[in-house]
Structure 1
């Protein structure tokens, strides 16, 4: 768990430093080259700095141990940050869309090869960051790292739109294609829709976790299958499990023979907890409630 935490923090720190460098380069290049595309992309990247700082802060908070005020730990801090990133992406999507639509009604600007090169570097850099952070996010189950990865993906879309738009402008100048001068705003509109879709997916996942949605049906079914292998578990009354950021909490209610001693019940509880936690390393807590079972009784206890 400590190695996961270190890997996740490293990925977010790399993302933060990269976003700061890219924001400065894009805004500087946009001003020097008089490229509205790069300037807009740089302003958009500035929002990524805020989102990454939120992800970094939440990742550090989420690893704090449980305390009296937060007995289940601080894992949901990452989910809150993920929801915040979704809001940032929604704002970015609307901003890109509005700017792109407005550009359709303005005289097209002149593009340069330097601007194309800057946009291409940003595209490759962000693509590399996305691949790196999505792998770390999937390996660590960190919601804040995954949100950072999807934020990079949104930037990949934006940089790709800049490359296409600037490239079409340069090609249009060479081939006298007047329509090509509007390639950038058209690509920007498409990008805004893609970013909005990303924001919806991140936001939906965050809301589901905050509302304590059950884990997948397949995972619950496997938990039940494990419980059925335990000695002297006569009935499964209920199995629930919820994500709490980067870890899972499981709630189990089972029936055991009514004449068992407290020690026997305790041993069964320990066996069930070990079965589930050995199968799924993401589970950090298994809360088990034992109900009395009699051979003639079929009504589940609650």
Structure 2
């Protein structure tokens, strides 16, 4: 887990440095070539810097061990950062969409140039590479903050693609004398704003689910129950619950064992069941077990 956390930190640092460089490049190119779409993309990237800093901070906090005030650990710090990224993306989507709609009712600008197109293509390729890298790391270490950063890169891919399409259509329109091509930029920007807004909704919904103690998938719960059924000392399964706590899972089970067992036997069974589940699922860091008495004449429900 420590190695995975280190990989996640490196991925977020790379994302942060990349966002700073791309923000400077896009804003400078947008101002130099009077390109609204590049300028908007640069402002969006500036928001990404804040989101990445939040992800980096939360990733560091989430790896702190449990303490007296946080007995279940600090894993939800990553979820808070994920929710923050969702808010940043939603605001960026609304801003990009508003700018696009406003541009449709104004005289077309002249921000199309081959250098501006080159800056947009560079951003597109860079962000696509960052997305592929961070999504792989995020899934490998099950880090909500790294995954949120990856989806933030994906939103930037959409925005950069819009810039490439908008500037490209504008350049093609100048060459072929298409008057409507001057509005390719804002139309592409509006479509991208909808895609980014949908992405923000999905990230935000997942973050809220975890913060509200949403259970893990039914399939995973069924696997936990099947594991418990393999132990001959477990005569009844009363309850199996599990919830995500950031990048790890906490499991809560209640099972029935023969009522004549000693406290020592019950303790040994609890340790055995805990190890059984944690060996099966490396994302589980805590298994809370409550043992209930089972009468010998009671039907076996396992």
- TM-score, normalised with respect to structure 2: 0.98
> Are 1:52 and 2:52 matched, yes or no?
yes
CA distance in 2, matches of 1:224, 1:217: 11
SS of 1:65's equivalent in the other structure is: coil
CA distance in 2, matches of 1:295, 1:208: 41
Name the structure 1 match of 2:173.
172
- Offset at 1:295? 2.8
Name the structure 2 match of 1:201.
202
- Offset at 1:232? 1.1
> Are 1:28 and 2:35 matched, yes or no?
no
Name the structure 2 match of 1:11.
11
- Offset at 1:298? 5.8
Name whichever of 286-295 and 34-43 sits farther off: 34-43
SS of 1:254's equivalent in the other structure is: strand
Structure 1 residues without counterparts, runs of 5 or longer: none
Name whichever of 29-38 and 97-106 sits farther off: 29-38
Name the structure 2 match of 1:192.
193
CA distance in 2, matches of 1:34, 1:198: 29
SS of 1:128's equivalent in the other structure is: helix
SS of 1:87's equivalent in the other structure is: helix
- Offset at 1:6? 0.5
Name the structure 2 match of 1:78.
78
Deviations 1:90-145 (A, max 9, x none): 10010000000000011112210000000000000000000000000000100000
CA distance in 2, matches of 1:99, 1:109: 13
Query: Quick check: 2:236–2:300 contact (8 Å CA) kept in 1?
Result: no
Query: Quick check: 2:100–2:187 contact (8 Å CA) kept in 1?
Result: yes
Query: Quick check: 1:231–1:268 contact (8 Å CA) kept in 2?
Result: no
CA distance in 2, matches of 1:294, 1:156: 61
- Offset at 1:299? 11
- Offset at 1:43? 0.8
After TM superposition, the runs of 4+ consecutive aligned structure 1 residues lying more than 2 A away are: 295-300
Name the structure 2 match of 1:288.
289
1:211-226 matches, within 5 Å, as: 211-226=212-227
> Are 1:157 and 2:158 matched, yes or no?
yes
- TM-score, normalised with respect to structure 1: 0.98
SS of 2:216's equivalent in the other structure is: coil
Name the structure 2 match of 1:272.
273
Structure 2 residues without counterparts, runs of 5 or longer: none
CA distance in 2, matches of 1:80, 1:231: 41
> Are 1:181 and 2:179 matched, yes or no?
no
Name the structure 1 match of 2:235.
234
- Offset at 1:37? 1.5
- Offset at 1:250? 0.4
- Offset at 1:33? 1.4
Length, aligned pairs only: 300
